[in-house]
Structure formats: C-alpha cells, structure tokens
Amino acid sequence: MQQKFAFRAELILILVTILAGLGWIFSKESLAGMTPLFFVSMRFLVGGVVLFLIGPRYFRNLKWDDVKPIILIGGVMGLAMMCWVLGLDQASNLGVGAFITCLGVVFVPIIGRFMFGDRPATSIWVALPVAVTGLIFLALSNGMSFEIAHLYFLGTAIGVAFQLNLLSRFLMRMHALVITSIQLTSAGILLLIMSLFTEAMPQGITFSITLWFLASTLIATSLRYLLQMYAMSLTPVSHAAVIMNLEPVWAAIFAVLWFGEVMTLGQIFGCFLIFMAMLISRWSQIRKLFKR
C-alpha cells in the first residue's frame, strides 16, 4: 500500500512540473497586456487568497510571532519573483530562462554555508563547476555576454536559494498551506507597492489577457501548490526533490511548441549541463530513489 501511495505521489509530482512549465507560457502571454510587477503581484495576491479560502481551518490559532518570519520570507520571495518577471518580460528564450532559474537548487546549500555555516555535500562542489560551465555556454551563444534577462533569472535563482534556506530553518512545524498562502500574499503586497511607484497602471485588460492571467494564477499557482503539497505528504521529500527538476524541461518543450522558440547548439548544451548540475546536486536523493 505504501508503494502504491508513493507511485501516485510521483505521478502527481510529474503533473506539478508540467503545470509549472505551463506557468511560464501563461505568464508570458499575460505580460502582453499587463505590466510585469502588477501582473506578478496580482498573481500572488489572488493565489494566496485562494489557498486561504481552501483551508481556513489551518489558520486558526496562529500567533503573530509565527506569522512574522513568514512575512519576512515572503518579502525575500517577492524580490526573487521581481527578478523573475522582469527576466520573463525581456527573455528571448523561455527554455534558457527556466534552466537558469532552476539553478536555485544548486545554490541552496552553498548559500546555506555562508548564512548558517552548513557543510555542503561533496556533490554540490562537483555540481557547481558543471553549472558555471553551462552558464558560460549560454553566454557564448550571445556574443560572450549574457542577455539582461539571463542576469535577472540568475538573480531569481539566488533569491530562491535564500528563501529556501530561511524556510528550512524557521518554518518546519507549520502547515505547508499556511506557509505558502502567507508567503504569496506578502510577496504580492510588496510587489504591488513597487508596481504603484514604478509602473503605470493598465488602462484596460482584454478578455484574452484575463484568461491567461487566471490560468497563471489558478492553475499554475494555486492548483500547482495544492497538488505539490498533497503529493509531498505521500512520498519522501528526497524523491519529490528529484522529480521537481523536470520543470525547466517542460518549460523548454512548451516554449518550442507554443512560441516556436529555437535554441542554438550552444544553448542546448548549456541547458544540458545545467540539468546535469541539478541532478548531481541531488545525488544523495537519487541514490535513495534507486535503492527503494
């Protein structure tokens, strides 16, 4: 029975990575009619409220001292997502951006070393030069310099690594739905304030853009996180961590199918190296997966 639940969880997690990949498409289409910071702030605010409405019982008896660190981490998430949406708005190739963004999994233990004195596994130090080489190949495909979008995506990866380090230290005893809802809402409020000061508000949003926005918010955010939380309750985190590496693969495939994007051979090899670095960084989890 336990193996049956684990298999179900892994299938759901594959679906989660597909939804995450589709989220890149939904979001890029939404940006055709919405300013970047306003779009992502509304996405997170709506997503956070939807999660609250789904599980209000989990929010009972919350103490302010418990909520404060989540709001702080939500702020870090907001800054990371600011980089992401600015990169998305300017990106010429979503697949490349997705692979750079997912380097956060490699950076997590390295940043943990500087923040908390953690000792990264040997696999991390092996993965790091592979990841850097992948980034160099992406740069070589653009005349020895990154696109500004690539730098934004790299900033996202570093910001997400800070966010995950803070989560791992302070919030392990709280329900995942509460953490996710408050983080999304906090990030949304921060980004909305930044939008009000730096962007002109949209004069009108077309029906098609509204549909893309709803798909991004309800499918790629709320539904995705609900399925992810449910699946991770049925299988070890180590297994989930390996499967979640599929997100940039799906994003690249969907970008080719929907936008007709084409990668150079250098970009393909760079993305391959980054994907390998992600797997190498998860080597201990991969070994457990095959020993099951």
pTM for the structure as a whole: 0.89
Residue 72's alpha-carbon distances to 67, 144, 183, 241, in angstroms, are 9, 37, 8, 24
Q: How many structural domains does the chain have?
A: 1
Residue 112's alpha-carbon distances to 72, 223, 230, 253, 257, in angstroms, are 17, 30, 27, 32, 37
Extended strands (E) in 121-227 = none
Question: Given this model, what pLDDT does residue 1 score?
Answer: 47
Question: Given this model, what pLDDT does residue 65 score?
Answer: 85
Instruction: Give 44's contacts (C-beta < 8 A, 6+ positions apart).
Output: 78, 81, 184, 185, 187, 188, 191, 221
Residue 173 corresponds to which tokens in the numbers above? 């005893």
Low-confidence ranges of the chain (pLDDT < 70): 1-6, 140-146, 170-172, 235-241, 288-292
Question: Given this model, what pLDDT does residue 212 score?
Answer: 97
Question: Given this model, what pLDDT does residue 145 score?
Answer: 54
The answer to whether residues 170 and 67 touch, using CB atoms and an 8 Å cutoff, is no
pLDDT (tens digit per residue) in 73-103: 999 999 999 999 999 999 988 999 999 998 8
Domain range holding 245? 2-291
CA distance linking residue 75 with residue 151, whole number of Å: 20
Question: Given this model, what pLDDT does residue 233 score?
Answer: 72
